[in-house]
Amino acid sequence: MSIRPRSSPVRVAEIVPVTPFVKRFRLAATDASPLPRYSGGAHIVVEMRDGGVVRRNPYSLTSSPLHDGDYEISVQRAEVSRGGSVFMHDRVRVGDTLAVSAPVNLFMLDWRARKHVLVAGGIGITPFLAQMAQLSAEGRPFELHYCIRSPERGAYREALERCFPGHVRFYCASKGERLDVTQLVASQPLGTHLYVCGPTPLIDATLEAARAAGWPGHNLHAEHFAAPPSGTPFDVYLQRAGLRVYVGEHESLLEAIEAAGVEVPYLCRGGACGQCETAVLGCDGRLQHHDHWLTTADRAAGRKIMPCVSRFDGRELVLDL
């Protein structure tokens, strides 16, 4: 079954600079009706029309899920951007209309946990903002460990200290502060669930430390923010559609296929959910896998690709689309 979240128009009601690198956008329904409800950890996909290019980027909902109303997302201006975050920062104005998908949650809290330990790196704080509102309202035991590069990059730092006193610890790399993940996972009571979101090295180190300490896999939760990388342009042939499609330097394979009018299922657009998995029918070259979904065996076999983040380098790629 093809899964693509339904999308609807929203009005940009407010834009607030949070740090020199992060802006918060408040999005309201264009007809004043309540937007669909969501739970902490959910994201929406924002559709950006930039001339003839359509980008769809996922952003975590940071507003409290406890109240009906507008959505809030926080967008960090990427240092190396394909254009989506720069578009949001430089082109989107209050009063503009954007299309957004219905919320999808691939990073849910497990309410069976006796305690919740949240580990955030940089803009990976965003899904935890909504989760902490829920955990706090429910009186659940939780703690946040928030790693930032420098004080000016610590989005929501003061709000977190104010709203969740005693629950939050910061680690500022520019001050030489480091989170010791081995010690963190060694000192938790049985039944604790661990959630991590941020750069891949932080996610990998945290999960590895937890596994090494004997944590069961179902107590570990991670959300990877894998934006599709830019790369050398290439052609792809879509066998069932009978179409040859050019994939430009700054567009993803999925975006190029969509622009050609062929629908591919998706949920995360970040290489994590598995929805866009596509069979490779022919490959004269090298598949550049950037997802967190395919297994090592899948990659070695070379028969599958995740077009939301992965690319191709070579003479001919043929997909079962």
Applying CB under 6 A, the residues found at the interface with ligand FES are 266-269, 271-276, 291, 293, 306, 308
Euclidean distance between CA atoms 206 and 194, whole angstroms = 9
Nearest to 245 by CA among 257, 255, 254: 257
Q: Which is nearer to ligand FES, 126 or 252 (CB)?
A: 252
**Closest CB to ligand FES among residues 4, 11:** 4
Using the minimum distance from each CB to ligand FES, give the nearer residue, 19 or 252.
252
Contact 283, 299 (CB under 8 A): no
Q: How far is the CB of 228 from ligand FES (least distance, A)?
A: 9
Write down the H helix ranges in 139-187. Answer: 157-163, 181-186
Partners of residue 196 on adjacent β-strands: 119, 222
Q: Residue 27 in contact with residue 7, Cβ under 8 Å?
A: no
The least CB distance from residue 184 to ligand FES, in Å, is 29
The H-or-E segment that residue 144 falls in is: strand 142-148
CB of 58 to ligand FES, least distance (A): 9
Q: Which is nearer to ligand FES, 202 or 305 (CB)?
A: 305
Q: Which C-beta is closer to ligand FES: that of 146 or that of 266?
A: 266
Asked if 254 and 266 count as a contact pair (C-beta separation under 8 A), the reply is yes
Beta carbon of residue 135, minimum distance to ligand FES (angstroms, whole number): 26
Q: How many CA atoms lie within 13 A of 112 on its CB side?
A: 5
Instruction: Provide the residue type at 286 as one letter.
Output: R
Residue 82 or 89: which CB sits closer to ligand FES? Answer: 82
**Cβ of residue 130: shortest distance to ligand FES, in angstroms?**
20
The β-bridge relationship of strands 168-172 and 142-148 is parallel
Nearest-approach distance from CB 245 to ligand FES, in angstroms = 17
Q: How many C-beta atoms surround the C-beta of residue 314 within 10 A?
A: 13
What is the three-class DSSP state of 195?
strand
Whole-number minimum distance, CB 143 to ligand FES, in Å?
29
> Residue 56 or residue 193: which is nearer to ligand FES going by CB?
56
| CA dihedral over 8, 13, 16, 21, signed as positive or negative | positive
Q: What angle do CA 179, 185, 143 make, to 5 degrees?
A: 70
